[in-house]
Chain A
Amino acid sequence: MRKLAFIFAVMAAAFAATITEQQLRQAQNDPATWLTYGKNYSGWRYSELSEINTATVSRLAPRWIYQSSASGSHETTPLVFGGRMFITGPSNHAAALDLMTGKELWHYQKTPPAGLNLCCGEMNRGFAALGDKLFKVNIEATLVALDARSGAVLWQRQIADHKKGFTATGAPLVVKNKVLVGIAGAEFGTRGFVDAYDADTGERAWRIYTVAAKGEPGGDSWDADSWQRGGGSTWITGTYDPELNLTYWGTGNPGPGMDGSVRAGDNLYTCSLLAIDADTGKMKWYFQFTPHDTHDWDAVADPVLIDMVVKGRPVKAVVQANRNGFFYAVDRTNGKLLHALPYTKVSWATGIGADGRPIVVPGKEPSEEGTRVCPGLGGGHNWSATAYNPQAKLFYFASTDGCDLFFKNKQEFHEGQWYQASTETTIPSEPPTGTVVAVDPANGEARWRFEMVTPTTGGMLTTGGGVVFTGDGEGYLVALDARTGKALWHFQTGGRIIAPPITYTFNGKQQITITAGSSVLNFALVN
C-alpha cells in the first residue's frame, strides 16, 4: 500500500506542470513545450530548436504513430506540456497522448447532436490551456473545460444556438484569466462574434459582434436589416499583444455569400481584422480587406504580429495572407495600412490603395451565367496556419493559384438554413496549382516560391534550424530550406495533411509532430 502511494506521488509530481499566464506570455522561450495555438501569442509557429536543421533533416524518421478512432478532417494543433500531448479531433473527440509512445492516456468524446447544419464538417483545430485545465469548443457551439490530468469535464457553456446555424471549430485563445473563442456559421445567416469566458467559472465576460447593428458605428454599411444575417464568422484563432493588451481576430464573409444585392454597402466588419481590448471586448480599430465581399473571401487567416522596420521606421505590425490574393501589413497600434501586394494571380483588383481599399476591376461580381475570377473561392491563402521565422525574417504560407466561375442566385432566408445564394465551380481546363510562398513582411515581396502540383493544405512550422515544415494534400510531410525554398526532405504519411506541424523536445531530442489522415505521427532524428 505504501508502495502504491509512492507511485501515485511520483505520478502527481511528474504531472505537476500547470500552465500559468506568465508561461503563456513567454511560450516562445520554452522549446520543450507547445502551449498555445500559434506557439506564441504573436502566432509565429517558430521554434528556436535547431537539432533538426538543413543538414540533418534527411535523417528524420517516424518514432510512433497514434491511430485516432475519429473519422473526418483532422486539423488539430497539438499542445505539449507536462510530459503529454493534447489533441482534438473531429466530431468532438479529444485525447491525451504519452510523449514516449503515443499511447492514449485518456479520451474525451461527446456525440454531436443530430441534424447539425454544417458548412464544412465537424472539424476542430485544438485546445487552449491554463492552470490544469484544457479548453476546447465542440461543434454544436459549446465551450468545455477539461481536467488535463484525466479528461474529465469541469464545466461546459453554450456559446450560441446551433439550431440557428452556429457552430464552433477553432482553438480557443487564453488571455490572462479569460478564454477567447470565435464562432462559425456565416453560411446560415448568423451574426458573428468573439466571446471571452472566465477560465475558472465559464461565465461569459464579454462579447463583441463582428457585424455592426443599425445605429452602431458601421451600421450604415448594411442595407435595411441585412446586418441581422450578416455573417462575419471568426473561425480561426486570434493573436494577442500583451504590451498593447489588444487581441487580433479576422472575420469571415458577409451573408449571403455571393448575392451582394441584398446587403448594399461595405458590410462592416466582415472580411476585416479587428483589434479588440482583451479586458473589455471593445474594438480599438478595424481594417477591412474586402469591402462588400461577394467571393467568400473570409479574412480569418492568422493575424501574425511582427515588429519590423518598414521604410526605415520601426513598426509594430500585424500581417496576414488574405484569401483575396493580397498580402497585407498593417500597423497594429492604429490599423493603418503599411503595404499590400498580390502573392498570387488576382483578377478582381488592380491593387490596394493607400487608404487600404482595393482598386476594384468592374465586372467581377458573381452572375447567373458565371463570372471567372482569380483567386477562386478558397483563395489564395485560405485558413491553414502560417509561420514567421525571425532569423530569416520571412513569413511563410500556402497559396492556391487558380480561378473559379462564381454564380449567384436568389435565396430567401430561413433561420438555421443554408443562406449563401451562390455557387462556384472550378474551371476544368484550369486546375489550380499550389505554392508555398515566403514573403518578406517588411515590403510584401515574395522572396521564394515552392511550386506544387496540387494546392498545399497543411499549415506551416519554421525553426531555428533553418527549416520550414508543411504538409500537402497528397499526404507528404515536407521540409524546405527556410531561406531558399529548396526541398530538403519528404515523407509519405499515407493520409491527407490539413493540420500544421509542431515541434518540441522530449528527453532532450527535437521532435516533429503532424496529424495526417486520422493519425498523429511523431518524428525525430535517427543516426
Chain B
Amino acid sequence: MQAFDDLGEENTWRVVSFLRSIARHDAAGIPGDRAAGEKLFWEKGGCGSCHTVNGKGGRFGPALSRIGRERSLEYLRESVIAPNNDVAPEYASITLVKKDGAKIFGMGDLDNFTVRITDRSGNYYSFLRTDLASVTRDLRSAMPNTYSRLFTPGELDNLLAYLASLRGEEAR
C-alpha cells in the first residue's frame, strides 16, 4: 500500500479537523459561566491580544469565532493548559535573522526555499531563505503554557464555557 502522502498537508489537516468536529460536544451542559469566561478571555487571560473573536482582538494566533463548533471540549481544555500538545504547522514559531542582523519573531510557515511570517504587530513578511542569515522554526506554540497556573479550576471551566459557546452565529 502506498502512503496517503498525496493527500497533502492542508487536506490532511482538514481531515483531522473533520474528525475532531465529529467528536465535539454541544455547548449545552458544559459546566462554567459563559459570561464570566468571556470576561476572563478579554481581561485576566489576555487571550484577545492574540486571538480574534467576531472581528475583535489580535490576529497573531488562530481566530476563535467558530472554535466551539470546530473543536471538542476536551481538545479546547488541552489547548489552553498544554498548548504544545498539538500545534498546526502554520502556527509554528519562526525566528529569522536577516543578513544585516535584524531579527524577526512571529508565526508562519516555511518551505524548502522561502519563509512567510507574521509578527506580533500583524506585519507580514515573505523572504527567500537564501536572502537570510538564518531561519529557525520551533514547533512549540507561541502561546504561554502558564494558564493552568493562572486560572483556578473554576475559572478554567468558565473560560471553556465561553470558548465552547463560540459557534460563529454573530458572523452570520
Contacts and interface: CB of A to CB of B under 8 A. Distances in A.
Contact of B6 (A121, A377, A400, A476): A121
B83 interface: no
B1 interface: yes
A487 B129 CA distance: 12
Given A428-B85, A473-B8, A119 B112 contact: no
B84 to A, nearest CB: 8
Nearest to B92: A431
A401 interface: no
Nearest to A300: B2
Given A431-B139, A472-B112, A454 B2 contact: no
Nearest to A478: B112
B5 A476 contact: no
Interface string A114-149: 000001110100000000000000000000000000
A378 B6 contact: no
Contact of A383 (B2, B110, B137, B139): B2
Contact of A454 (B1, B4, B85, B112): B112
Nearest to A123: B6
Nearest to B109: A453
B87 interface: yes
Interface residues of A, number: 40
A452 B85 CA distance: 24
A400 B3 CA distance: 11
A378 B112 contact: no
Nearest to B115: A453
A330 to B, nearest CB: 23
A253 B9 contact: no
Interface string A229-240: 000010100000
Contacts of A379: 3
Nearest to A186: B1
B111 interface: yes
Contacts of B9: 454, 473
Interface residues of B, number: 19
Given A428-B86, A431-B89, A453 B111 contact: yes
Interface string A464-476: 0000000011101
A195 interface: no
A457 to B, nearest CB: 6
Contact of A119 (B2, B86, B87, B113): B2
Interface string A249-291: 0001100010000000000000000000000000000000000
B8 A474 contact: no
Contacts of B4: 120
B6 A454 contact: no
Nearest to A426: B12
Nearest to B87: A428
Contacts of B86: 428
Given A454-B111, A454-B112, A478-B112, A120 B2 contact: yes
Contacts of A257: 1
Contacts of B111: 453-454, 472, 474, 476
A496 interface: yes
Interface string A397-436: 0001000000000000000000010000000110100000
Contact of B2 (A376, A382, A474): A382
A498 interface: yes
A298 B3 CA distance: 10
Contacts of A120: 1-2, 4, 6
Report, nearest first, the 4 A-B pairs whose CB atoms are least far apart. A378-B3, A474-B111, A73-B6, A452-B112
24 contacts: A119-B1, A119-B2, A121-B6, A123-B6, A186-B1, A187-B1, A233-B1, A296-B3, A298-B2, A376-B3, A420-B1, A431-B89, A453-B110, A453-B111, A453-B112, A453-B137, A454-B112, A457-B5, A474-B111, A476-B112, A490-B112, A490-B113, A496-B6, A498-B6
Given A233-B1, A298-B2, A383-B2, 6 more contacts: A121-B6, A257-B1, A429-B139, A453-B110, A476-B112, A496-B8
